[in-house]
Chains A and B, each alone.
Chain A
Amino acid sequence: MPRCLMLAPFPLAHPRHGGQIRAASLAQGLARSGWQIDTVGLYHADFFAPDERGPLDIVIDDPALARHVSGDMLFGDLHVARAAAGDRAVVNQLASLLRRLQPDVVQVEHPWGWLVLQAALPSGQRPKIVYSSHNIERHARLPLLEFNLNLGHPGTDQLLEATSQLETDFARAADLTISISDIEGALIARETGRAVAYVPPTSDLAEGNHPAHATYRDAAHDSECRYAALMGSAYWPNVEGFFATFPDGLGFLAQDEQLWAAGSLGPALRSDARYRDYQSVNDSRLRTWGYLPDTDKASFFAGACCVIVPVHVGAGAKQKTADALASGLPVITTSHALEGYGPLIGDALGQGVYVADTPSAFRGFVRRALREGLRACPSAVRDRVSLARMAETLAPLYAGLPRGLPQAKITLV
């Protein structure tokens, strides 16, 4: 059985945020294709709880580095990676793992791990290297700098340049680069002159969106309301997306039409000053459910009239879009939220996937979904974000790697 070591800048024992979920789904996809996967997280101890750690994780515990990262969170991953690459003990620990596990392939999630991996790789025959791009890191950071001027500092430009350089170098050095987004895959390919494989995100719901219980449906029935489902974390693009889409609050809904938000996004919205400007109306039309376990997602969607993905910033392809497409409901979204899903949803636009880039248009679709009903996202689209489809995509790509198959066989973007 071929063996793949997955090196990630976070633990993968309990995937929660988008990056973790993406890496975990890739691991699952590969496992389905017959690969043995070992995951190694390389991160600082201060930023992840001990119970999240995996057995092979390399955890850095340097207080000075933690302070440095905390003072410059925007480039925290780069700082940790640079420190790790300069730390002989860390490099040796990774080299030792490579010697012990003898992987055929080392897959690096995000570009950061490449700095350490280069130093840890054996000088002779080395495993094949896969760069798994979650987003173009430079692009992901630029809107952050615009959003929060406090994040910038005199060294910002150099760090952005270093980030960009690292991504390009890694894509050129890797035996295979996979991208979560068709658009970004094309950009990396153009930048590096290398082929890039497009491996879209997956959703657990795609293979099993049968509700485990009727809690949410019953709650909607009891309160005599219909609801649009919204899932997301408190990550700032989600918050900004909400307020860019609903800048004047939720008064466009009648009282028996509501927005139900699952995930840490709900509390983040409620604590925002923009929410409080219209608090009375918003409170009467927004219901928040907090963090939702995976087992509850299908139930949450089952009672809803539609799923909304109001995202206007951020890079890569959004996990919540995959969940929305897999929900079997009408999906109301911005064109930005669909970035990275182009080949998957082209035939569903206006036929289950409804794109609205202005508040007015978005409100109109939500009202239509709640009042008249909209056609649901076709099941064919749901299949395209399934783990089975990912495994089918990954299998030929990785099958050729250990034997050094020519890259022309790779699914090219």
Chain B
Amino acid sequence: MLNQGNADFATAGAVHRWSEPTSASPAKPSPPADISAAQRPERLRIHYDASLIMHFGMETPVGLVRVDQYVAEYLARDPTLDLWFLVFDATLASYRRLTPTEHQLLRRILFHRYERSTIASPPPKPPSLFTARLLLRRLRTASTLDAPMFNHMLNYYLDELLPPAPAPGSARDRAARAARQTSLPVARCGHLILYRLTAGVRRALKIDRPAVSPPASDAAPSAEAIHFDSGSVLVSMGNSWDYLDYAYLHRICRKGGVRFVSVIYDVIAMEYPHTTPGPPHVYHRHWVELGHCAAHLLAISRFSAGQYREFIGDPNDLHPSMSHAYLPSVLRDRAGDIGETAVPQLLGRRFVVFCSTIETRKNHQLLLQLWDRLRLEFSNDQLPILVFVGRWGWGTEAVRLLSERNFRLRSRLLILDRTSDAELIWLYRNARFTVFPSLSEGYGLAAAESLSFGTPVVTANCPALLEATESLMPAYDPLDFVAWLAEMRQLIRDDARLDELKSAAARYRGPPYEAFADAIRATAFAVSEPCHAA
């Protein structure tokens, strides 16, 4: 578990300094090469856009949310920085500081997010769930939740109280399973009655406010647009196309002198416009405005930096200062904090993992077609289960058809769309191998993560994936069915081939945990230089 050090979250509007890194931190930052704390008595103030982190809250982070959390936490622990967290407030059309409640949540997200799932130390006994007061609170909360949300919460608590047990398991496991199977319908039934009853009462009394009010501090937040001084450094790691007002960004950067630092994850919407959830022009604008406003852009791979130049820079005569740094395998580096949780359905089974949102670009179709062919060649015992780890995204009709209607694949396919980090670690460690046939990637973090756990991965030959895997793994054209089929056959049938890839995977070095966040930090220092000089 991580400690949050001397973070001060107590007062609204206070400057929140999260400085003292603890010995538990795996990423104790060293002073930057060129600017030591001694040379710079004043700590560098960085404004950090925490909008995305706040939006996703305590959800298991994936993709760029994970990156955002990792960088925010890393910078927050840096004693040489004076980090101010901000959120973009659409009603103010401006950034503002966090409210005290938001600060509390942010602290939980950054410093306590890994606390509950471990197997190394069994989950702490849940707080006294059955005190009368707490029970009343739980019932009151449950009465406001609709069925899907209630089921989600129910599963969350049941996982803690009655963790899934492998089949067939001991007598105790069997008892736990039985208790779980019994309690679920009872709780759902109870919720249904409670929900309908309270909904009826609310309707009758014409109460349209939620039963659970926001805390008083948030009900009237001291929301105030922040004023940036010229030369201020603003870091935004997230998908700000969802919320940022670009006219505002232009104003604060081009006219107000704010040094804006952001990240280029990819420009795939320009390369494969049909693969994005929204219209590609929305992302295009984001990248163009970054090109106009950013003091520096950090790409997550050499390939992404090159693609940005090709698809955004050159056509728009934009040549922002750019560099690239690789993302760490947060899962591997923080495995000690996160722990490991088995996925019961896969205990004692052979399986192959593809960890990714289910969306057009990721090319799940290829794997489904491959497995449909392989099931004709291999017995049920021989053919590993194909495991998709990731939520359903967009453009998934073909995958749904292939996965849901093809009942012949049912016993060889498992889709896990709500996987915890601890389960993911278990999956990486126990998979026979993993696959990553995506049409294009900005980096391919899941492929790198697989290697960081020593598990071979077969990837598409997108240059970013070659960077992520340090060219150690077999890579094929994502549309070359025949090549993939041959490789899958070998890896399923031939342990020698698998061992060969495992040896190669063992040579994977991977970027240091702190490298990417350090690059952001160094960038912040670099872009602040003219200001300091002045």
| A residues whose Cβ falls under 8 Å from a Cβ of B | 247-249, 251-252, 254-256, 276-282, 284, 360, 363-364, 367
Contacts and interface: CB of A to CB of B under 8 A. Distances in A.
Contact of B317 (A281, A284, A360): A360
Contacts of B315: 247-249, 251-252
Contacts of A363: 317
B246 interface: yes
Nearest to B312: A251
A365 to B, nearest CB: 12
A280 B317 contact: no
B250 interface: yes
B272 to A, nearest CB: 13
21 contacts: A247-B315, A249-B284, A249-B316, A251-B284, A251-B285, A251-B288, A251-B312, A251-B315, A251-B316, A252-B315, A252-B316, A252-B317, A254-B292, A255-B247, A276-B279, A277-B280, A277-B281, A279-B279, A281-B281, A282-B281, A284-B247
A284 B250 CA distance: 12
Contacts of B292: 254-255
B346 interface: no
Contacts of A252: 315-318
Best-buried of A277, A360, A367 by chain B (most CB within 10 Å): A277
A186 B312 CA distance: 44
Contacts of A249: 284, 288, 315-316
B139 interface: no
B289 interface: yes
B254 interface: yes
A277 B316 CA distance: 14
Best-buried of A256, A281, A282 by chain B (most CB within 10 Å): A281
B282 interface: yes
A255 B247 CA distance: 7
A276 B281 contact: yes
Contacts of B312: 251
B21 to A, nearest CB: 40
Interface residues of B, number: 20
A259 to B, nearest CB: 14
A61 B102 CA distance: 74
B318 A281 contact: no
Given A247-B315, A280-B282, 10 more contacts: A251-B318, A252-B318, A254-B250, A254-B254, A255-B247, A256-B254, A278-B285, A279-B279, A284-B246, A284-B247
Contacts of A279: 279, 281
A278 B247 contact: no
Nearest to A364: B317
B159 to A, nearest CB: 42
B284 A280 contact: yes
A252 B288 CA distance: 8
Contacts of A278: 281, 284-285
Contacts of A254: 250, 254, 292
A367 B281 contact: no
B250 A281 contact: no
B289 A255 contact: yes
A152 to B, nearest CB: 31
B433 to A, nearest CB: 39
Given A248-B316, A254-B250, A360-B317, A284 B281 contact: no
Interface in B234-266: 246-247, 250, 254
A211 B195 CA distance: 69
A251 B273 CA distance: 17
A275 to B, nearest CB: 9
Contact of B285 (A248, A276, A281, A360): A281
Contacts of B279: 276, 279
A281 B288 contact: yes
Contacts of A364: 317
Interface in B58-91: none
Contacts of A282: 281
A281 B284 contact: yes
Contacts of B254: 254, 256
A325 to B, nearest CB: 27
A248 B281 CA distance: 11
Contacts of B289: 255
8 A-B pairs closest in CB distance: A248-B315, A280-B285, A251-B288, A251-B316, A279-B281, A255-B250, A252-B316, A280-B281
B367 to A, nearest CB: 31
Nearest to B249: A255
A252 B280 CA distance: 18
Contact of B246 (A247, A248, A255, A360): A255
B285 A284 contact: yes
Contacts of B291: 251
A255 to B, nearest CB: 4
Contacts of B281: 276-282
B318 to A, nearest CB: 7
A219 to B, nearest CB: 16
Contacts of B316: 248-249, 251-252
Contacts of A367: 317
